[in-house]
Structure 1
Amino acid sequence: MNKTFKIYAVIFIIVMIILVLFEANKTERTDWRKNFDISQKSPFGLFVFNNEVNALFKNKIKKTSETPYDYYQADKKPHNILVVEEDLDRQSWNKILDQVSRGSDAMLIVSEMPKQISDSIGYYDSQISFEDENVLKLTDRKFTNDFIHLDKFPSGRGFTFIKPGVEVLGKTVEKNNSDQANFIKISFGKGNVYVHCEPLFITNYYLLKHGNVRYAQDVFSYLDDRETIWFVENDAKVSQFFLRFILSNPALKYAWWVFLGGLLLFIFFNAKRKQRIVPIIEPLKNTSVDFVKSIGNLYLQEGDFHDMMAKKAQYFLNKVRMDLLIDTQHLDHEFAKKLHLKTGKPVEMIDEAIQLIKKAQDPYAQVMKEDLAKMNKLLDEII
């Protein structure tokens, strides 16, 4: 066991001990999120309501994970519809309203009126109060003694615009504000739509308080004694991720992240220290210049200046044809004029260069080394 591995092992053990101590001394925290989940035992879950719903509806309730749009593909006889804080699409709301118009009753326990419903039955503005406490009461005198005192995070929502013909069944009473409607009934076709905008009254926290269940019983008593369809969230939406058990347990989750962090550190430091040496590759040399020098030295040694001038002239004229698009068949005054206009070089320089080119093209001309050097310099300056 090398020294590096021992250091990693000691660090890992120390971190694990610290996490265990934190976990052992951690106080249980209450989840106050308003999840309205039938499987959650947190204060604002619906676990208790889900267990007591059969008694509330006299065993005439049916839960379905289908959306209303999928469930109502065939005609159904009149029944009750229950929706609790569900995010349904427009098509599903339209299906619910279609069933209500045929004689069913729908009870919507939602903190905000769905736009699809409000557009169909009339506009209802919602008001929000920020009081820490309020009381939910029903307007019917026979329910005077049945109320719920909300002392934990009430939404404070209520309806501020009540359309004529809408019956107010319940209200929110606050100390510093006027009463506002929170439970209404709207006739729609052959049926009715009931909307309660404070779903907290059916959560675990409030149903477990003594006497509060009576208020829930009173609210649901407005529905006829018949089959009730409760649309709940699809249970099939449970994550199928292979690590869901580990990540759902806080202790296992911490251990998993520590393991991954340690593994990444181990890979990083070992890869850095044991990286293979990259060999130095010499770049390829450009031998073109050396080749040209060799050929030039060969011509100089042979003393064939005339041939070198001819090749230089041929190269120059080819470049004039390709780059400047000037005809080089006749090296006359017209050629010199065009070359002067396109290059901007003095006429005297161009005339002198033309004379040297003609001399290079004449196989019988006597050429000296100085002629080659002079022509080479002139042609390089022109282009």
Structure 2
Amino acid sequence: MNKTYKIAFGLFLLLIISLAWLESSEPEPVNWTPSYTRSDKIPLGSYIFYESWKQIDPEKIREIKIPPYEYLNKVPENGTYFFLNNYVNFDEDELEDILSWVSNGNTLFISAYNFGEKLEDTLKVELSSFISADGFKSRPALNLVNSNLKFEEALEFDQDLPAVYFEKIDTTTQVVLGTSSFGEKDADNKINFLKTDFGKGQIFLHSAPQAFSNYFLLKNKNYQYSEALLSYLSNNNILWDSYYKSGKGFFTSPLYILLNNRPLKWAYYFVIIAAILFILFEGKRKQRSIPVVEPLQNKSFEFTQTMSQLYIEQKKYHELGLKKISLLMEFIRNSYRLDPSTINEEFYRDLAEKSENSIETTKRLFKMIFNFQKNNENGKVEFFELSQSINTFKTHNGKTGSKS
């Protein structure tokens, strides 16, 4: 990795760290996700409503965490089955069990924007949504019909959430209990709360679940509206549904706490990004460094010196002279392309011409060689005389020869 590449990578990494820090240090935005779970303290959670209701009589409220179909096919308690969510949709068998349970003298209370097609068909009701042409606002003002419970001024939910109302009801079996009004001038009242007698029991449908949210209950005296709604429920057991909820009533992931804390969440994301960058830039297979292999050195000259020194120490001047002669013959053969095995006048003439020596010098050298070869008693003096003559002959024409 060159220097420019390292600088670019460092700047990119610094940019990622800066963005992560800026994002993690920003104020936590308001979470308007619909939850309606009893433990959620976000604006559209139902923590305040559930805890306040439970404090009145803790023994009356029982939390049901399983599907209604499963619960009602065991040994269900009598009372009021309370559903609070942005939508509730029963399947056919489940709805049949619920309605059978209601007809035996129990109560079904649902507060949602949607009750499911099967229940709406059964009760012959139709829902619709209101959106104001003035800024596309959908902020219903909630009130009740009963003169004993009705507020002097309707309680407005000041956030734009779905404004659902009953466009069609069965007036022969259903009683209007509450309304939603839209518009500041000439308010248009729509039905948002009604009661239906079903067998020996009752069904309450309420189309503004935000009335039970933390945000609504904490503003002014809006809690009085939810108290008025609950006054229609008889003083019996409350079966609080925790199954049909948009929010999670329990942690389903070990990362829940980590991802629900902004600094921890961005630290987690930064670790993932850093790991990906490491894999991309450093995870590639790197070539092992190639060791420097020094070329083999020619030790022939050193070897020759060593061997000649051994011959001299052992006073084998004759043998050393013969090797010197053999090297000369090899030199003549390779350098001058002459055959020293046949020595005659022509050989002397060719060798003298190619080596730039005189014929007399050439003949004198070979006469010394022949005498040295015949005399087995050659000593140091004879060897050095021969060696000097050979070296002089080889270097006469400027060519480098061994001085040994």
Matched-pair identity in % = 24
Alignment partners' CA distance in 2, 1:45 and 1:207: 11
In structure 2, the residue corresponding to 1:184 is in which secondary structure? strand
**1:83 equivalent in structure 2:** 83
**1:239 equivalent in structure 2:** 252
TM-score, normalised with respect to structure 2: 0.60
Alignment partners' CA distance in 1, 2:144 and 2:103: 26
**1:203 equivalent in structure 2:** 213
Residue 78 of structure 1, CA deviation: 3.3
**1:306 equivalent in structure 2:** none
More helix by share: 1
Query: Any idea what the Cα deviations from partners look like across 1:183-219, whole Å, max 9, x if unmatched?
Result: 0111111101000011111101110122211111111
Distance 1:252 1:76, change over 3 A: closer
Distance 1:58 1:174, change over 3 A: farther
Q: How does 1:21-36 map to 2 (within 5 A)?
A: 21-24=22-25, 26-36=26-36
**1:347 equivalent in structure 2:** none
Distance 1:220 1:257, change over 3 A: same
Question: Are 2:143 and 1:140 aligned?
Answer: no
In structure 2, the residue corresponding to 1:39 is in which secondary structure? coil
Kept after mapping to 1: 8 A contact 2:20/2:270: no
Q: Decide which structure has the larger Cα Rg and report it.
A: 2
**1:101 equivalent in structure 2:** 103
Residue 140 of structure 1, CA deviation: 0.6
Structure 1 residues not aligned, in runs of 5+: 278-383
Kept after mapping to 1: 8 A contact 2:49/2:212: yes
Residue 35 of structure 1, CA deviation: 2.5
Alignment partners' CA distance in 2, 1:18 and 1:162: 54
Alignment partners' CA distance in 1, 2:264 and 2:48: 29
Residue 22 of structure 1, CA deviation: 4.2
Residue 182 of structure 1, CA deviation: 0.6
**1:20 equivalent in structure 2:** 21
Alignment partners' CA distance in 1, 2:108 and 2:159: 28
Question: Are 2:159 and 1:158 aligned?
Answer: no
Kept after mapping to 1: 8 A contact 2:193/2:205: yes
TM-score, normalised with respect to structure 1: 0.64
Query: Any idea what the Cα deviations from partners look like across 1:34-75, whole Å, max 9, x if unmatched?
Result: 222322222111121121121466751111111111111234
Distance 1:12 1:40, change over 3 A: same
Letter in 1 for 2:213: T
Structure 2 residues not aligned, in runs of 5+: 290-404
**1:194 equivalent in structure 2:** 204
- Residues 140-149 or 218-227, more deviating: 140-149
Alignment partners' CA distance in 2, 1:57 and 1:222: 17
Kept after mapping to 1: 8 A contact 2:83/2:241: yes
Letter in 1 for 2:117: K
Alignment partners' CA distance in 2, 1:18 and 1:113: 44
Alignment partners' CA distance in 1, 2:54 and 2:101: 23
Letter in 2 for 1:166: Q
In structure 2, the residue corresponding to 1:137 is in which secondary structure? strand
Letter in 2 for 1:252: L
Residue 14 of structure 1, CA deviation: 5.7
- Count of aligned positions: 274
Alignment partners' CA distance in 2, 1:264 and 1:182: 52
**1:38 equivalent in structure 2:** 38
Kept after mapping to 1: 8 A contact 2:38/2:249: no
Residue 105 of structure 1, CA deviation: 0.8
Alignment partners' CA distance in 2, 1:49 and 1:136: 17
1:274 corresponds to which of 257, 264, 286? 286
Letter in 2 for 1:148: L
Kept after mapping to 2: 8 A contact 1:56/1:217: no
Residue 128 of structure 1, CA deviation: 1.2
RMSD: 3.0
Alignment partners' CA distance in 2, 1:214 and 1:248: 32
Alignment partners' CA distance in 1, 2:257 and 2:150: 48
Kept after mapping to 2: 8 A contact 1:67/1:88: no
Kept after mapping to 1: 8 A contact 2:45/2:214: yes
Letter in 2 for 1:264: I
**2:129 equivalent in structure 1:** 128
2:273 corresponds to which of 261, 271, 291? 261
Query: Any idea what the Cα deviations from partners look like across 1:138-183, whole Å, max 9, x if unmatched?
Result: 1111012274222212422111212122100111122355311110
Q: How does 1:303-382 map to 2 (within 5 A)?
A: none
Query: Any idea what the Cα deviations from partners look like across 1:285-308, whole Å, max 9, x if unmatched?
Result: xxxxxxxxxxxxxxxxxxxxxxxx
Distance 1:272 1:27, change over 3 A: same
**1:230 equivalent in structure 2:** 240
